[in-house]
Amino acid sequence: MSIMTGVKRPLEAVLGTDHQTLDHRHYDRHYDPHDARDKQQPKGMSKMPLHPTMAADEAIDMTTRTPSPTFPPLSGEIPDFNADASLVLVGIRGAGKSTLAIMASSALKRRVIDLENVFQRTRGASSAVYKKLHGSTECHRQQAKVLQNVLERNKTGCVIVCSWMESRVQALFREFAATHPVVHVVRDGDAIQEHLRIQDREKMDNLLKVSRAIFGTCTNFEFYNVTERQPDVLDSLSSDTLFDPVPAPYLTLKHAERHLLRFLSLIYPQGALPFMDSAFPLAGVPFEELQFTYAVALPLSRTLETGFQIEDHVEGADVVQIVVDDLCAKADSFGSDDFLSLANAITCGIGLTRRSTVVPLAIDVKLPETPTEEISQFYLQLVLHTMRLAPELVTINLMLKDADIAHLIASKGRARTIGDCLVTRDPQPWTSSTWTTLYQKASRLGCDMVRLRRPAGTFDDNIAVGHFRGSVQSLQCRQIPLIAYNTGEAGRHSVILNPILSTVAMRAEEEFSPSSSLLLTSYAAVQALAAAYAYDRMRMYVFGVKVGYSMSPTMHNSAFNACGLPHHYTPHSTESLSAIKHLIEDPYFGGASIGLPFKVEVITLIHSLSRHARAIGAVNTLIPVRHLNPDGSLPQGAEFFKAMGRAGPVKALYGENTDWIGIRACIRKGLSPANAVRPGACGVIVGAGGMARAAVYAMLQVGVQNILIYNRTLSRAEKLASHFKQLLQNPDFHSLGAGSDTRFHVIEDLHDPLPSSYHLPTIIISCIPTHRIGEAPSPDFTVPDGWLESRTGGVIIELGYKTLNTPLLAQARRQASRGWVAMTGLDLLPEQGFAQFELFTGRRAPQKVMRRHLLNAYRDEHERSNQELQSRMPSEVREVT
């Protein structure tokens, strides 16, 4: 992947110039792509094209101008935004702002305002034409008037798109950025050059450099829009896709959508993106409250390597720490040109990494122990730049002046800061007051955590750092989480026992230099803990009548092995729950998956149900609880996970349902951006058993407000609808779907027309068996053609996986050209398994490992492998959750 060659100049260099805007599309808030009954061209979706050659010529002309300073730079401080604050996307033509705006509008439930469209509508001509008729000065004056009017009238509930760069426009955006997110969208130069049809690379580079300098002074965030190329997509899918990996047409947009929504979730207050919160059990638990967590160090240079697969290198990571060490490596020669290149590379590296993994990102810019004033200033500017990229964590060197640290912390936005100090030259012993003073400094200045390290001289230093960790708890200051350990070979013992975010090496690195501070992987650290009896060999199961075919053991055992955990997962078929009593009371019982037909009956054994299990009325995950609160209740948050992996008497059983998590993931992955769930979206459930309940709950979790239910036994379908109607009357569940206004309709006959008051469905989930059960043949179910008339297609999910070549999936494949995507139980199984793994272990699941082993081991009911099915099965979307 090429790296963009331009980056914002030092903040003192504020430039002004002019530029021609892109032919954007405007998304109409009243247009509903789910309704195939409206055959007219959606309002506002037609392009208002400018002549491409003319636009490119004007962009080239801009690069020949000499910019001049205008106004001082932004302070760097990122305010707390209201959840409904309008979002602004700026950047040069070809950066992808319009597509991103439509994605953001769907997620945030907002309308898009394209400034170029508004200009053309209100001034009677595009900016390019107006400029030719009235001159640049008048055109820029009118652009500023249009922008000022739009910003004053649309402070909330909008996504505003703009490519203009004139100085008055910059001033307006700077003022707006005091209370709103104003995001500079950047992209690699090759893609923009191709879009603008600029032949001269030098002029293209100059355009990028000038635009980044300008937009960098009037925005408070920067987003790297990764260019997806077809070979890259195929490479990323090859190891995780069951079928011939020819991705659906919208696959690249799904990557971009997931990347953008994660970025938005980090700049807006929690809950601002409806139905976008992670469903995984550990998502709501701060990792610093968990025990034995790891930050995998990933050099920035590696993230930029072509073909580098990040997920292959961060197994077992709780945080991915991108390490930027250029200031140390080039301390004697680092200059302004290096700064520009490095800041640009950081933007690119963070974008590529965030697109490829769900693990939180920490940015660690290294500062030499004795930096020059110039190097210190470059360091401050680089850290401020990283905060514009919305990382979850940023390290701040504690050797800086108090005022500089305070300024960085004031600029962090929603990122959390780690006050950091590594002393390698004549380090003081852990008993020295130096370390206590550093801890107090980090606390006093507002750091969220502190990380202190020194090389170990002897093994006794490992004992000393343990005493130091205990001593800070008695300090009379604000208590913040402490990361403290020794580096070097002699310090490995302290790294293993450090409870919070020990920095470890990438899994793929098998040999380490003795001089390196990274001598352990997370795998080795966990294995050492197990050898020291911090983890016991726990026994996990899948219980059901016939579970010998289950793929769960393959998934979970591969995950245990990848993470260095000693546990083992076994299938256990039984005709009665009473026959498993000795297993679930075993001191080494670590948890179980519950299969048919026990998902409801197992509730009789359980002491406490999760909110989700209570809503669904079924359990698929059983967790032993070994520590209770003094009042007999179950511990919450991090306390719930602290006993995971340790043997002992089982004092209670906790029931969870993760089936809905897998189904929700399939819905979100299978729906193209055009079919993103909006008010009026409609889904169909086929079946009325336990999985159908999970499917309804998953639909409600993504915001579907209109649900149709079909089952051969009408009374069971009516019972299912009644269950959720009653549930949504409960105030605790009003946030699901449309709350009590959610509509349910039971289809009495498969060939009855769909109710006219409902939009055509874009989500169809079949929850009935796909294979022969006993003497009963497989249902061979298909849906009426009338269910598939959505103009934009949708997703069809067949929850079974013993048989993949079903009539319903064949029907979906025939409709692929019309936008229908087929997904199966092999898409659902790993997603719900990731959540189960977290519940079993209190650790993040190695998602790619679990998927790969599942697909490699898969056999259908006729014992055919996945390779035998490749020629007949469709491509499906695979991505990290």
- The answer to whether residue 842 scores a pLDDT higher than 70 is yes
What mean pLDDT is predicted for residues 769-773?
62
What percentage of the chain has pLDDT greater than the value 70?
83
For the chain, helix, strand, coil in percent to 5 are 40, 15, 45
pLDDT score at 532: 94
- What letters, b where the CB count within 10 A reaches 16 and e where it falls short, cover 832-851? bbbbbbbbbbbbbbbbbbbb
Q: How many whole angstroms separate alpha carbon 410 and alpha carbon 524?
A: 38
Q: What is the pLDDT of residue 49?
A: 32
Lay out the sheet containing 820-824: strands in order across: 743-747, 706-710, 682-686, 763-766, 794-798, 820-824
Distances (CA, A) of 582 to 64, 460, 586, 650, 651: 80, 45, 6, 11, 14
User: Once rounded to an integer, what is the mean pLDDT over residues 321-326?
Assistant: 95
SS3 504: strand
φ and ψ at residue 316, rounded to 5 degrees: 85, 5
Where are the domain boundaries for CATH 3.40.50.720 in the chain?
Answer: 661-869
For residues 22 and 311, the model is more confident at 311
Residue ranges of the chain assigned to CATH 3.40.50.10860: 539-657
Residue of 488 and 204 predicted with greater confidence: 488
Has residue 714 got a pLDDT over 70? yes
Q: Is the dihedral of CA 212, 356, 277, 273 positive or negative?
A: positive
Q: What pLDDT, on a 0 to 100 scale, did the predictor assign at position 66?
A: 37
**Model pLDDT for residues 466-517, shown as the tens digit of each residue:** 999 999 999 989 999 999 999 999 999 999 999 999 999 987 554 454 445 5
Q: How many CA atoms lie within 13 A of 446 on its CB side?
A: 14
Average pLDDT of the segment spanning 168-197? 91
Among 181-195, 243-257, 390-404, 509-523, the range with the most confident prediction by mean pLDDT is 390-404
Residue 178 scores a pLDDT above 70 = yes
- Of 218, 268, 327, nearest to 109 (Cα)? 268
Q: Which of 70-79, 450-459, 495-504 has the lowest mean pLDDT?
A: 70-79
The distance from CA 113 to its chain's CA centroid, rounded to whole angstroms, is 26
- Split at pLDDT 50, 70, 90, the class of 230 is low
Q: Per-residue pLDDT averaged across 729-757, rounded? A: 90
Residue 864 pLDDT grade (very low, low, confident, very high; cuts 50, 70, 90): low
Residue 273's pLDDT band (cuts 50, 70, 90) = confident
**Region 745-768: what's the mean pLDDT?**
94
pLDDT at 382 exceeding the cut of 50: yes
pLDDT interval class at 445 (50, 70, 90): very high
Q: What is the pLDDT of residue 241?
A: 37
Beta-carbon contacts of 683 under 8 Å, excluding residues fewer than 6 positions away, are: 699, 704, 706, 707, 708, 761, 762, 763, 764, 765
Within 8 A by CB and 6+ apart from 79, the residues are 178, 179
Would you state the pLDDT for residue 509? 53
pLDDT score recorded for residue 233? 41
pLDDT band, very low/low/confident/very high, at 544 (cuts 50, 70, 90): very high
- Top-confidence residue, 498 or 870: 498
> According to the model, what pLDDT value does residue 321 have?
96
Chain centroid to CA 210:
31
Mean pLDDT value of segment 784-813: 90
pLDDT tier, 629 (very low <50, low <70, confident <90, very high otherwise): very high
Q: What value does the mean pLDDT take over residues 868-874?
A: 38
Pairing of strands 589-594, 621-625: antiparallel
Instruction: Tell me how far apart the alpha carbons of residues 615 and 697 are, in angstroms, rounded to a whole number.
Output: 8
The fold adopted by the segment(s) 661-869 is Rossmann fold (3.40.50)
Superfamily for 539-657? Leucine Dehydrogenase, chain A, domain 1 (3.40.50.10860)
Q: Tokens representing 669?
A: 């992955």
Q: Which residue has the higher pLDDT, 444 or 10?
A: 444
Name residue, tokens 């290198």. 313
Question: What is the pLDDT, as a whole number, of residue 877?
Answer: 35
Among 23-32, 100-109, 202-211, 351-360, the minimum mean pLDDT is found in 23-32
Q: Look at 333 and 441; give whichever has higher pLDDT.
A: 441
Residue 74: pLDDT band with limits 50, 70, 90: low
The conformation of residue 289, written as its DSSP 8-state character, comes to G
Q: Give the Cα-Cα-Cα angle 826, 828, 834 (nearest 5 degrees).
A: 110
pTM for the full predicted model: 0.85
Length of the chain: 881
Residue 261 in this model has a pLDDT that exceeds 50 = yes
Contact between 381 and 339 under an 8 Å Cβ cutoff? The reply is yes
804: three-class secondary structure by DSSP: coil
Can you tell me the mean pLDDT for 187-210?
A: 83
What is the phi-psi region of residue 774: left when phi exceeds 0, alpha when psi lies from -120 to 50, beta otherwise? Answer: left
pLDDT attached to residue 863: 53
CA 515 to chain centre: 35
Confidence of residue 408 (pLDDT cuts 50, 70, 90): very high
- With contact defined as beta carbons under 8 Å apart, do 393 and 23 qualify? no
Q: How many CA atoms lie within 13 A of 65 on its CB side?
A: 17
Mean pLDDT to the nearest integer, 536-553: 92
| pLDDT (mean) for 755-767 | 95
Average pLDDT, the chain: 84
